Structure 1
Amino acid sequence: MIQLKHIDSIHDNWTKPFVEKLNFRIIENKYLLAPEDILDGGVFYKLLSDDLSLAVIDYVAKKEIEFIKVSANSDFWYLIFDLSDGCNNHILNNSNYEVGNESNYNFGFIDGTAERKVIPNIGTRTYSFRIVIRKSYFEELIRPYDLGNFNTRIQENIEEYHHYYGYVDSTSKIILNKIINKKFGDSNYELVVQASAYKLLGVFLKNLVRYNSFTLKHAKADLDAIINTKKHIIEHIWEPFMGVEFLASEAGMSQTKFKSHFKDFFGLSPAIFYKIEKLKLAKELLETKKYDNIKELSSDLNFGKSPSFAHLFKEYFGIDPHDIVNY
Structure 2
Amino acid sequence: MRRVTHYYSLTPEWQNDFVKQLNTQLIDDKLIIVPDDIGTGYFYFSQVMDGISAVYADLTPKVPLKLTRQKSDNELFIFHFDLSEHINLIKINNIDYEIGSYNKLDLVILDNQIESSFKPTVNERVIALRLLIDKKLLQDFIQKFKRQEGAFDHTATNKKVFYHYGNIDSNSILLIRSLKNKAVTDLSFDSYIKGISLKVLGNFFNKFYDSEEQSAKLTEIENEFIEKTKEYLMNNLFGPFPSLVFLAGMAGMSASKYKSSFKKRFNNTPKNLFIEEKIKLAQELLKSGKFSTLSDVMYELNYTKLSYFCSKYQEVLNRKPTDDFVKKSSVK
TM superposition score normalised by structure 1: 0.69
Please report how far the alpha carbon of residue 4 of structure 1 lies from its aligned counterpart in structure 2 after TM superposition.
Answer: 1.0
**Any residues of structure 2 matched to 1:68-217 within 5 Å, and which?**
68-139=68-139, 142=140, 150-154=144-148, 157-159=151-153, 160=160, 162-186=162-186, 188-212=188-212
Structure 2 residue runs of 5 or longer lacking an equivalent are 154-159, 283-304, 321-332
Identity of aligned residues (%): 20
- Partner SS, residue 53 of structure 2: strand
Q: Determine the structure 2 residue equivalent to 1:299.
A: 307
Deviations along 1:118-156, whole A, 9 cap, x unmatched?
1111111111111111011223xx4xxxx7983432587
Contact 1:5-1:68 within 8 A present in 2 as well: yes
Contact 2:85-2:100 within 8 A present in 1 as well: yes
Contact 2:145-2:151 within 8 A present in 1 as well: no
Distance in 2 of aligned mates of 1:272 and 1:9: 40
Please report how far the alpha carbon of residue 275 of structure 1 lies from its aligned counterpart in structure 2 after TM superposition.
Answer: 6.6
Q: Determine the structure 2 residue equivalent to 1:59.
A: 59
Q: Determine the structure 2 residue equivalent to 1:42.
A: 42
In the alignment, residue 75 of structure 2 is paired with which amino acid? Answer: D
Contact 2:74-2:112 within 8 A present in 1 as well: yes
Please report how far the alpha carbon of residue 115 of structure 1 lies from its aligned counterpart in structure 2 after TM superposition.
Answer: 0.3
Contact 2:259-2:269 within 8 A present in 1 as well: no
In the alignment, residue 26 of structure 1 is paired with which amino acid? Answer: L
- Partner SS, residue 168 of structure 2: coil
In the alignment, residue 299 of structure 1 is paired with which amino acid? Answer: S
Distance in 1 of aligned mates of 2:49 and 2:55: 13
Please report how far the alpha carbon of residue 192 of structure 1 lies from its aligned counterpart in structure 2 after TM superposition.
Answer: 2.2
Deviations along 1:188-226, whole A, 9 cap, x unmatched?
332222111111111122222221499xx9999x98995
Please report how far the alpha carbon of residue 94 of structure 1 lies from its aligned counterpart in structure 2 after TM superposition.
Answer: 2.5
In the alignment, residue 69 of structure 1 is paired with which amino acid? Answer: R
In the alignment, residue 208 of structure 2 is paired with which amino acid? Answer: L
Please report how far the alpha carbon of residue 245 of structure 1 lies from its aligned counterpart in structure 2 after TM superposition.
Answer: 5.1
**Any residues of structure 2 matched to 1:281-300 within 5 Å, and which?**
299-300=307-308
Contact 1:18-1:24 within 8 A present in 2 as well: no
Alpha carbons of 1:75 and 1:273: their partners in 2 closer, same or farther (altered >3 Å)?
same
TM superposition score normalised by structure 2: 0.68
Q: Determine the structure 1 residue equivalent to 2:291.
A: none
- Partner SS, residue 101 of structure 2: coil
Aligned length in residues: 282
